[in-house]
Amino acid sequence: MLHTLSIGELGRSLDSGQISSVELTRHFLGRIERLNPALNALITLTAELALAAAAAADARRAAGERGPLLGIPLIHKDIFCTDGVRTSCGSRMLDNFVAPYDATVVARLKEAGAVMLGKANMDEFAMGSSNETSYYGPVKNPWDTAKVPGGSSGGSAAATAARLAPFATGTDTGGSIRQPAALTGVTGVKPTYGRVSRYGMIAFASSLDQAGVFAQSAADAAVVLQAMAGFDPRDSTSIDAPVPDYSAALAAPLAGLKIGLLREFFDGLEARNSALIHDALKIYRNLGAQTVEVSLPHLPLSVPTYYVVAPAECSSNLSRFDGVRYGYRCEKPKDLLDLYTRSRGEGFGAEVKRRIMTGTYVLSAGYFDAYYLKAQKVRRLITDDFRAAFGKVDLLIGPTTPTPAFAIGAKINDPVTMYLNDIYTIGANLAGLPGLSLPCGFVDGLPMGLQLIGPHFSEAKLLNAAHRFQESTDWHRRSPPGYEQ
Amino acid sequence: MSLTRKDVEKIAHLARLSITEQEMPVYVTSLSSIVDFVDELSRVQTDDVLPMAHPLDGQHQRLRADRVSESDQHEKYQTNAPAVQAGLYVVPRVIE
């Protein structure tokens, strides 16, 4: 079936003329029409634009052009500016905002000939771990529509899992690609900080945000990451370093690979969840890897550190939304202060306001040293722990989440309980490290993810390790019941 | 170390956020629990540790030549404006 083929197989079908990009696009648009209403994974559908882009890709191919993403459909998280298309960031604040330019990620994938089907639903301003804070309503997990898909890139994850597109873009600030990938049974990659341009990606926490990809497999993710990664002069935090050939590196043998089991990740992990990870480790040993226990003693401080740093940066980044130049403006403001406070008070949802206020507090006079500066110091301790671990091992392994997907509504009223969902993913963001989640089994019919974390710029090794695992297992080939056809 | 209502009102003002009467107690509770949660950091020994503002060491602000690279597209950018007149953003009167 077209929606279970890999990007490589789709490319070969397109190249051989078996199928056109227009037909392929129609196939996925049909799936979206039929299956998306139950999931609410999209905020904006761009069917007309998609068919025009598909026709253009077919014309490029007819003229002799070839490329692994030429004519391949995708969905963009609604955090990426898309020229001429609404970019809402999951918020009432930007419900009426039509982006006047393309993000670099969008431009690069467009240049490669990928066909945008629409914009994915997400937690508001990327703040959330369950896709329940979106102005456009929650996204449902295709494995069980009473459960969350994770967040903040919940729409991108659900759409990929439901095979509404071969791949989707996402962003990861505290785990927002890896966690929803784990909860929906797909492969999700967060690159090294600075590997992928943040130009045109609406900013949440500037020292943590990173764009990445959801796909059916590491092999597919490698193709997409190849097109997304690389220096961008428009992003002052973009790293000017060459991008290796991620696909060429996939098949390398794992003999001699040293994998570190993070002791802190296994403490307190429930038995059935822990068993899945240990089964995965057996597969890695069979592939020739050695596993060694390592400890990152400051890692348990990741969550409180993050919940000082990220809100602080978000309070600064979201100060631009003031009802003056774009976005939501309140009705009949009586003066400038009223314009600001009511546009922001009415335009932002509760979680966003909570984080802006947390950030404002930790940056305010008298508290800056005690909170923000302190958190930046603990951040260095956590980063140093990772550096020490990578002196002994090549990659770190552990679960992506403490449990499979939880019920919609179960945690939304208790922010701190919700924040603890990111306990395994946040460390990599604080240290700027690349991380990946791949499906490793099921608990009560719900997917669980295995997380791999590597040193800076080790995406090729991570994708290689994930690919070799996926050659020995078929978790990543499973479709949610009802979404196979 | 919980926050009081006065604390939250002050923070909301700094952040230019209007909070309704009904919302206020919820924010006082949730912000207090968040602040209590992050207070754990105060018990960590960080005497000789340098704060880390950037996840990658050795980064510095890149500079470029001072040459014009953008064009005037203010009409395009102002299509998203709530109120525009003669190329200017219209806001409530600021100066009496």
Domain covering B5-43 in this structure, CATH number: 1.10.20
Which of A100, A324, A354 is closest, CB to CB, to B31?
A: A354
Confirm or reject contact between B4 and chain A (CB < 8 A).
Answer: no
Confirm or reject contact between A468 and chain B (CB < 8 A).
Answer: no
- The rounded distance, in Å, linking the Cα atoms of A196 and A104 is 9
Residue type, A474: D
Q: What is the pLDDT of residues A440-462, one digit of tens each?
A: 999 999 999 999 999 999 999 99
pLDDT at A384: 96
Write the class of the CATH domain A2-256.
alpha beta
pLDDT at A18: 96
- The rounded distance, in Å, linking the Cα atoms of A371 and A377 is 10
H-assigned helices in B1-96: 5-14, 23-38, 74-77
pLDDT at A133: 93
- The rounded distance, in Å, linking the Cα atoms of A258 and A281 is 12
Which DSSP helix (H) or strand (E) runs through A290? Answer: strand A290-294
Confirm or reject contact between A324 and chain B (CB < 8 A).
Answer: yes
pLDDT at A280: 94
Q: What is the pLDDT of residues A17-33, one digit of tens each?
A: 999 999 999 999 999 99
- The rounded distance, in Å, linking the Cα atoms of A344 and A356 is 11
Average confidence (pLDDT) over B15-30: 95
Q: What is the pLDDT of residues A171-214, one digit of tens each?
A: 999 999 999 999 999 999 999 999 999 999 999 999 999 999 99
Domain residue ranges of chain A, discontinuous segments joined by +: 2-256
pLDDT at A86: 98
Contact assignment for B92 to A334 by CB distance below 8 Å: yes
- A453, β-bridge pairs: A396, A435
Testing the interface with B: which of A357, A371, A384, A422 to mutate, by most B Cβ within 10 A?
A357
pLDDT at A93: 98
pLDDT at A466: 98
Testing the interface with B: which of A190, A354, A361 to mutate, by most B Cβ within 10 A?
A361
Tell whether the model's pLDDT for residue B67 goes beyond 70: yes
Confirm or reject contact between A456 and chain B (CB < 8 A).
Answer: yes
Average confidence (pLDDT) over A398-423: 84
What are the distances in angstroms from CA A193 to CA A39, A177, A209, A450, B22?
A: 31, 14, 7, 21, 40
Under 8 Å CB-to-CB from A262, ≥6 apart: which residues? Answer: A294, A295, A296, A299, A389, A396, A397, A398
Confirm or reject contact between A336 and chain B (CB < 8 A).
Answer: yes
Contact assignment for A307 to B17 by CB distance below 8 Å: no
Among positive and negative, which fits the CA dihedral A189, A190, A196, A199?
positive
Judge if pTM exceeds 0.90: yes
Residue percentage of chain A with pLDDT more than 90: 92
Testing the interface with B: which of A325, A332, A343, A456 to mutate, by most B Cβ within 10 A?
A325
pLDDT at A170: 98
Q: What is the pLDDT of residues B40-52, one digit of tens each?
A: 999 999 999 999 9
The nearest alpha carbon in chain A to B19 belongs to A345
> How many CB pairs (< 8 A) connect A and B?
167
Tell whether the model's pLDDT for residue A34 goes beyond 70: yes
Q: Which residues in chain A are contacts of B32 at CB distance < 8 A? A: none
Confirm or reject contact between A412 and chain B (CB < 8 A).
Answer: no
- Active centre residues of A (catalytic): 77, 152, 176
Confirm or reject contact between B31 and chain A (CB < 8 A).
Answer: yes
Tell whether the model's pLDDT for residue B1 goes beyond 90: no
Least reliable range by pLDDT among A2-11, A110-119, A144-153, A265-274: A265-274
The SS3 call for residue A162 is: coil
CA dihedral A254, A397, A122, A475 (to 10 degrees): 60
Q: Which residues in chain A are contacts of B81 at CB distance < 8 A? A: 325-326
Q: What is the pLDDT of residues A60-104, one digit of tens each?
A: 999 999 999 999 999 999 999 999 999 999 999 999 999 999 999
DSSP for A311-347?
HHHHHHHGGG-SSSSSS---SS-SSHHHHHHHHHHHH
- The rounded distance, in Å, linking the Cα atoms of A265 and A450 is 12
Tell whether the model's pLDDT for residue A44 goes beyond 70: yes
> Taking all residues of chain A, what is their mean pLDDT, rounded to a whole number?
95
Tell whether the model's pLDDT for residue A352 goes beyond 90: yes
Tell whether the model's pLDDT for residue A413 goes beyond 80: no
Confirm or reject contact between A434 and chain B (CB < 8 A).
Answer: no
Which of B40, B44, B81 is closest, CB to CB, to A326?
A: B81
pLDDT at A272: 86
Contact assignment for B15 to A344 by CB distance below 8 Å: yes
Q: What is the pLDDT of residues A212-259, one digit of tens each?
A: 999 999 999 999 999 999 999 999 999 999 999 999 999 999 999 999
Which of A325, A376, A419 is closest, CB to CB, to B51?
A: A376
Which of B15, B49, B79 is closest, CB to CB, to A380?
A: B49
